[in-house]
Structure 1
């Protein structure tokens, strides 16, 4: 439990276990398994490419000088025989006989597994692996599905853990490379089999290492003490207080200011906090951080350090930057390597009380204490230092009235804007947990200003907060706090539109639906394209009708501009309104069309002088007019095309049954107090403000005509563009039938959550044209021409319009 090191430092710690299970090995095991599975799938889909790549590699390597090829053969032959003896001797010299036994057992088990798996694969169980890993030979047989030597050798080296060994590691690498090259030249195994053999050997070795544990490389406390004393820290005592703090070992050290080895270095007498990072536990924190990086977007978490040295340098630099900024925080007074597999950092801890404990002790924070917290935040923001862990247990107040940090955090220097705003949102929540939302926002505004504080609004979401903060927000007393903070921040700028919440997750339900929907739609489009000879079709196209398609496409933007002008209660410049509709076309690249339409048009109307609620209502009115236009033209087209006679204008039984169900559901929702409160506080005030403006449109005949006429022009122009596209390729279906196809296809295509309905609209319109008698060989190019004119061609003009409107501050 304790002892005195060679430098006279009393060390107190329990015995270090001889074997440990490294978290990094579990991460590697999962990564190798996924990589092997992915490699097999790629090899299966690229059978022809795989054979060509193998031939290219064989030709490239066989062209090497004969002397080099002979040398590779000798290295492989002698290495396979002698390398296990060399690895065994190295392990025995390091007094690791048990590890040697495990390495040999892994090699033997790997060999047996390869023999069994190879026989099963050659027998066709499963046939997929037989196709992927083998190929027919000239003698009528098949190549080996796995290389038993490579699998056994890699498994042995993995369990032996030769990384970092001065001579063994490079020699072993050379032997493995030589063996792979000679096996490829012999053409007794495929390239896929070689790569799978390497990964399988690694997988078996990692499984052994994880199952039986690896020999611990953690340095004992006396080595840590000796290394720190050598750097100039006058330690007198070192005690292990926590064996795993975010992947670190934490020691509490005591120092004396007397007889310092290096006069001039300021290491005050008293306690020091020592963090030891070693290979056995380093992967734990890095693995967690890697999972957060894969799950969340940049800004929320820093990418994991790949080496101990990079982690050591980052932590030391963060501590020095905070000290330079004058913020009380753990100050690094020494850092060093402890052996080949560990490093240590010694910090002088700041003296102070956590703000969550101050609430318990004095019932809350005073105005001066709040000012100190936000002064610290202002300094961090000014220097672009991100902390990323500003939870209630991280912020403290010192006896001299300054705010500081208990931890340096996993932050960044020169942080980007999103990361800094996440820090601000976290600190607003932390302070609100102590003093409430109103005082938190008011105190922040008093120091930082309204502009700086409002920037945090889109980031006020649970996923952006630390785990300890999320846990506190789960309490019944604090559940409404986040909503109260959002409302308070929104009330600072009631006249402006509330910014959309920043999406921090990389993978969302919308992303999954978009990928699946786009993939299905793309499959149908590609299936249709496979039935068309585009070269012959294009060469016979009538380009006069194609130009007519482009003209109608331009008319759609004019119609949307006229409709928006009629919906707005202020006069709008036509050319700027037209440019806004072109900008909407560009926004369709990155968002579904409806979202880009609403957002840009609302912003444009606000810049034109309308209040946010009125602007949103005007855009909604224009959308409603377009829906009415859809319905009217669809009914007219259906009747004229002959399909309307099959429909009954009397309500169907299903519709009659659905309507009361919908009414009951709506009434049930309104019976919920939270829903009722939301409607009364957020929805009704906006409706009351917007309804007079909407009614004013219908009281002015000119604006009503513009609104409805523009909507009809918009939809009629889309129909005209599709008609011209079919005429361009020699087909002349009735205009009414094409109109029905357009409206039905647009509705179905817009349900696909891809930007601009890509894939969905093409598939729906192509199918619709074939149902009215247009051959598939004509329907597909006609739809492609229509989409080229109405979607792709306006995009560069939309990009220019968007930049121009932003430059003149119209957006």
Structure 2
């Protein structure tokens, strides 16, 4: 190799004669294409906390009243009520698993139902819980039509199981059938039947006339029927689906009974369960967030009908809401935000 400088080598231009390239400014760093997605995910992470904060500010007097009344209650009965509240999430997870043939991870399923409880207390008619569960199932690789069919089966089994539990209590305890004032009259029953018939007829007309909906609805119905048949050939799924659905109202009523016993409610566990089942049947169709409002009023009415003083019945319902709504609300919202942040939802 030659030791001559580059400009002095044969056939090379002198250093002064070589052209110089103009300086090129460095290109700006490209913006991430995923910036909108990250912003959306951040908004979804913070949205549950913001909604719960707004709702808490609007209903703060209820929380304060319930806390003041619970401060003088028996702590051991309140601890029992908290235990039954936690078991309610386990029952909800069992029903969700029983409504789907695929096996879901138990820990994440339970966490999703804990988070769904927080969303369900903000949005009416179970929309929040269904939305969280739908996102969870799709994140587990379940197709949208089959995930929706699972939600439909869940929504169908729960009221059927609750009605069967109510009928079982009434058959086992015929002495309580004399409470005629708790049974809807003919006009109310006719109104309910008319509303259900009109809803089914409207759904049929829409499915028959709106062509873009025919194929998705057909896929949905096919998936729902196929999965329902498959699930009912597996004893484990049947036990999880129907057993969890039947245990849910009993656990909720056990929370009410525990709070009532802590406050000195002069009713038995059976009477509290019947009061809760009758109140839910009477007012459960009203689309209130988490059933708050109509179910509470009906529950106070049914407990006073069974002989409870109205002040203790009202305090029991407030304490029930504190244990089932306010205590797990912030932890549930945090779990919901974590699941969204980690892309599990």
Q: Above 0.5 in TM-score? A: yes
Q: CA deviation at 1:743?
A: 2.3
SS at match of 2:122: coil
Q: CA deviation at 1:720?
A: 0.7
Partner of 1:161: none
Partner of 1:803: 337
Partner of 1:785: 319
What CA RMSD, in Å, does the superposition of the two structures yield over aligned residues? 3.7
Q: 1:596 aligns with which of 112, 128, 132?
A: 128
Q: 1:616 aligns with which of 145, 148, 151?
A: 148
Partner of 1:288: none
Q: CA deviation at 1:763?
A: 2.7
Q: 2:227 aligns with which of 666, 670, 693?
A: 693
Q: CA deviation at 1:807?
A: 3.4
Q: 1:559 aligns with which of 67, 91, 98?
A: 91
Q: CA deviation at 1:588?
A: 2.9
Q: CA deviation at 1:709?
A: 1.2
User: Are the aligned partners of 2:149 and 2:223 in contact in 1 as well (CA < 8 Å)?
Assistant: no
Decide which structure has greater helix share.
2
1:414-446 deviation digits (Å, cap 9, x = unpaired): xx97xxxxxxxxxxxxxxxxxxxxxxxxxxxxx
1:599-625 deviation digits (Å, cap 9, x = unpaired): 111111111121101011112212222
**Mapped partners of 1:621, 1:665: distance in 2:** 18
Q: Are 1:677 and 2:211 counterparts?
A: yes
Q: Are 1:763 and 2:300 counterparts?
A: no
User: Are the aligned partners of 2:80 and 2:258 in contact in 1 as well (CA < 8 Å)?
Assistant: yes
For residues 140-155 of structure 1, the aligned pairs below 5 Å read none
Q: 1:740 aligns with which of 250, 255, 274?
A: 274
Q: CA deviation at 1:789?
A: 1.1
Partner of 2:175: 642
User: Are the aligned partners of 1:748 and 1:764 in contact in 2 as well (CA < 8 Å)?
Assistant: yes
CA 1:791–1:684: 2 relative to 1, 3 Å: same
**Mapped partners of 1:725, 1:685: distance in 2:** 46
**Mapped partners of 2:286, 2:206: distance in 1:** 32
User: Are the aligned partners of 2:153 and 2:224 in contact in 1 as well (CA < 8 Å)?
Assistant: no
Q: CA deviation at 1:726?
A: 0.8
Partner of 2:74: 542
**Equivalenced residues, count:** 286
**Structure 2, unaligned runs of 5 or more:** 1-30, 41-57
TM, length-normalised to structure 1: 0.32
Q: CA deviation at 1:645?
A: 5.9
Partner of 1:296: none
Q: CA deviation at 1:583?
A: 0.6
**Mapped partners of 1:714, 1:571: distance in 2:** 21
Partner of 2:113: 581
**Structure 1, unaligned runs of 5 or more:** 1-381, 383-415, 418-450, 456-518
**Mapped partners of 2:227, 2:237: distance in 1:** 12
User: Are the aligned partners of 1:561 and 1:578 in contact in 2 as well (CA < 8 Å)?
Assistant: yes
**Mapped partners of 1:593, 1:665: distance in 2:** 16
SS at match of 2:102: coil
**Mapped partners of 1:561, 1:615: distance in 2:** 15
CA 1:632–1:669: 2 relative to 1, 3 Å: closer
Larger radius of gyration: 1
SS at match of 1:728: helix
User: Are the aligned partners of 2:121 and 2:325 in contact in 1 as well (CA < 8 Å)?
Assistant: no
Partner of 1:773: 307
Q: CA deviation at 1:658?
A: 8.2
Q: Are 1:708 and 2:242 counterparts?
A: yes
Q: CA deviation at 1:753?
A: 4.0
Q: CA deviation at 1:702?
A: 1.1
1:622-647 deviation digits (Å, cap 9, x = unpaired): 22221122101222233427333678
CA 1:755–1:782: 2 relative to 1, 3 Å: same
Q: Are 1:730 and 2:248 counterparts?
A: no
User: Are the aligned partners of 1:570 and 1:609 in contact in 2 as well (CA < 8 Å)?
Assistant: no
Q: CA deviation at 1:803?
A: 2.4
CA 1:757–1:660: 2 relative to 1, 3 Å: closer
CA 1:554–1:668: 2 relative to 1, 3 Å: closer
For residues 207-356 of structure 1, the aligned pairs below 5 Å read none
CA 1:633–1:670: 2 relative to 1, 3 Å: closer
**Mapped partners of 1:665, 1:588: distance in 2:** 24
TM, length-normalised to structure 2: 0.70
**Mapped partners of 2:130, 2:255: distance in 1:** 24
**Mapped partners of 2:115, 2:66: distance in 1:** 34
Q: Are 1:629 and 2:136 counterparts?
A: no
CA 1:671–1:543: 2 relative to 1, 3 Å: closer
CA 1:670–1:777: 2 relative to 1, 3 Å: closer
SS at match of 1:793: helix
For residues 47-126 of structure 1, the aligned pairs below 5 Å read none
